[in-house]
Amino acid sequence: MSGFVLIRGGRVIDPANGMDATGDVLLEDGIIRAVGRPDVPGGTTVLEADGLVVAPGLVDMHVHLREPGFEYKETIAGGTLAAAAGGVTTVACMPNTRPVNDDPSITGYILQKALQEGIVNVAPIGAVTKGLEGRELTEMGLLMRAGCVAFSDDGRPVADSGLMRRALDYSRAFGALIIQHAEEPSLSAGGCMHEGVISSRLGLPGLPAAAESVMVDRDIRLVELTGGRYHVAHISVAGAVEAVARARARGLPVSCEVAPHHFSLTDEAVVGYDTDAKMSPPLRSVEDRNALLEGLARGVITVIATDHAPHDSDSKRVEFCHASNGVVGLETMLPVSLELVRDGVMTWMDCLRAMTVAPARLLGLDRGRGTLSPGSVADLVLFDPEAAWVVDAARLHGTSKNTCFHGRRVRGRVKKTLVAGRIVFDDDL
């Protein structure tokens, strides 16, 4: 839609500007012009938003688009369609593709594909080490110049302490964010679910919570040493939340994200050997889940990100320990996160902040994304906060359907998603 568009009469929530009020949003040529009660020029297209929440499009800083290399699991086209259906207008995609995104040419390929086939913004995350092999640093400067917004070896930790030190140190030259899949490999080896009562009963080898917290503890020491910007991906255990809280209290550049499955489910979901409840890190104990909720409430955890990880059914229809790790999450992120608001864990403002401006700022996208400030790109989500629905794996928009929320009754439904003023998803169509 070019020209003027007015989104009229919605509840406008813009955490970047601390706004929560009924009003209109005026767009012009894909840019936000005004919010509130703006003068409306003649010939303006009107989108009625009565009864809907109007918010900045969600920013999901942890997504696996699987392209290039694993197109049978997901593609940039399919993954961004799932994003649009979930109200997500920007996805940061992890580099564990084939080939790995460890070279500017791969970054360029992803961005080119995204331009041609993607329907939401794609922000590539480059690898910390070449080939994710944990040996040699990538060309962070050139990768950022090519379009990478952060660095991670996600799926694998940067295990070697000396290498992590150098990564955190070198990244400072570019102000780059290092995202760590925090897991001490010698403690997690062989594990395929959280180590606890349930793993004992099911006879499945467990990964102890300490595998994560040990690594976060170590990394925070390295942040002290280097001053590099450090972000814990998909935080899942109480000990790691504690460590991040302490680091932040001391003013260190440390942040973390939590995935909806980790704050809404526990290892109990694995009973019956459901491979759609298998991911890395695994679903944790009730105590860990409570610590995550508290971390969200206290502002220790500032970002909600999905770790959207599509897998084909052949990778999941096998014995539990052989099944691939990961669940899709883009299309359930919003309603599952809104449970936090209904349960009194977070305010509307804080909950939406964790999915918009907070991740946008970490990735350096905030000049134009994750906010409704005039002059920003018109990336928006319009959702009905009350609409109840039941998650049905078969009706998801992405290529793979491996959700752990199948059958869950949720509230909050995306009605329209706009990217640069263009409607990329419309629930009524």
Q: Which is nearer to other proteins, 236 or 337 (CB)?
A: 236
CA atoms within 13 A on the CB side of 225: 15
DSSP string, 204-262: --EE-THHHHHHHHHHHHHHHHH--EEEESS---HHHHHHHHHHHHTT-SEEEEE-HHH
Q: Which of 175, 181, 182, 65 is nearest to 123 (CA)?
A: 65
Pairing mode of beta strands 177-180, 150-152: parallel
255 near other proteins, judged by CB under 8 A: no
Question: Pick from 219, 187, 191: which is nearest to 206 by CA?
Answer: 191
Q: Is 241:293 a contact under the CB 8 Å cutoff?
A: no
- Smallest gap from residue 109 Cβ to other proteins (A): 30
> Which of residues 194 and 369 has its CB atom nearest to other proteins in the complex?
194
CB nearer to other proteins: pick between 170 and 320: 320
CA distance 138 to 103: 7
- Give the nearest distance from C-beta 322 to other proteins in angstroms: 5
| Cβ–Cβ under 8 Å, residues 341 and 347 | yes
407 binds other proteins (CB under 8 A): no
Token duo for residue 383: 């959702």
Dihedral (Cα; 294, 266, 236, 86), 10-degree rounding: -90
Select which of 307, 343, 350, 366 is catalytic.
307
Taking the complex as a whole, the smallest distance from the CB of residue 2 to other proteins amounts, in Å, to 51
Nearer to other proteins, 28 or 274 (CB): 274
Per the annotation, the verdict on 307 as an active-site residue is yes
Q: Using CB under 8 A, count the residues that bind other proteins.
A: 22
70 binds other proteins, rule: CB under 8 A: no
Binding residue (CB under 8 A) for other proteins from 272, 344, 394, 428: 272
Residue 62 backbone dihedrals phi, psi, to 5 degrees: -145, 90
Of the candidate residues 135, 298, 322, 367, the single one contacting other proteins (CB under 8 A) = 322
What residues from 298 to 317 belong to the interface with other proteins (CB under 8 A)?
317
Tell me how far the alpha carbon of residue 19 is from its chain's centroid: 23
Task: Kindly state the smallest distance separating residue 235's Cβ from other proteins, in Å.
Answer: 22
- Shortest reach from residue 268's CB to other proteins, in Å: 13
Cβ(215)–Cβ(183) below 8 Å: yes
Shortest distance (Å) from residue 237 CB to other proteins: 15
Cβ closest to other proteins, residue 198 vs residue 333: 198
Please report how close the Cβ of residue 208 comes to other proteins at its closest, in angstroms: 8
393 belongs to the binding site for other proteins (CB under 8 A): no
Rounded-to-integer distance, Cα 401 and Cα 169, Å? 39
- If one asks whether residue 318 binds other proteins (CB under 8 A), the answer comes out as yes
d(CA 226, CA 224): 6
Closer residue to other proteins (CB): 149 or 192: 192
Task: Return the number of the residue (183 or 195) whose C-beta is nearest other proteins.
Answer: 195
Kindly tell me which residue out of 20, 77, 134, 273 binds other proteins, with binding defined by CB under 8 A. Answer: 273
Determine contact, residues 330/398, Cβ cutoff 8 Å. Answer: yes
Question: Using the rule CB under 8 A, is 286 a contact of other proteins?
Answer: no
Q: Which residue shows structure tokens 């669940």?
A: 327
Q: Is 72 in the site for other proteins (CB under 8 A)?
A: no
- Give whichever of 116 and 186 is closer to other proteins, judged by the CB atom: 186
Tell the smallest beta-carbon distance from residue 319 to other proteins (Å). 4
Residues 185-224, interacting with other proteins (CB under 8 A)? 195-206, 208
DSSP 38-102: ----TT-EEEE-TT-EEEEPEEEEEE---TTT-TTT--HHHHHHHHHHTTEEEEEE-S-SSS-S-
What is the contact surface with other proteins in residues (CB under 8 A)?
A: 195-206, 208, 272-273, 317-323
Catalytically active residues, by annotation: 307
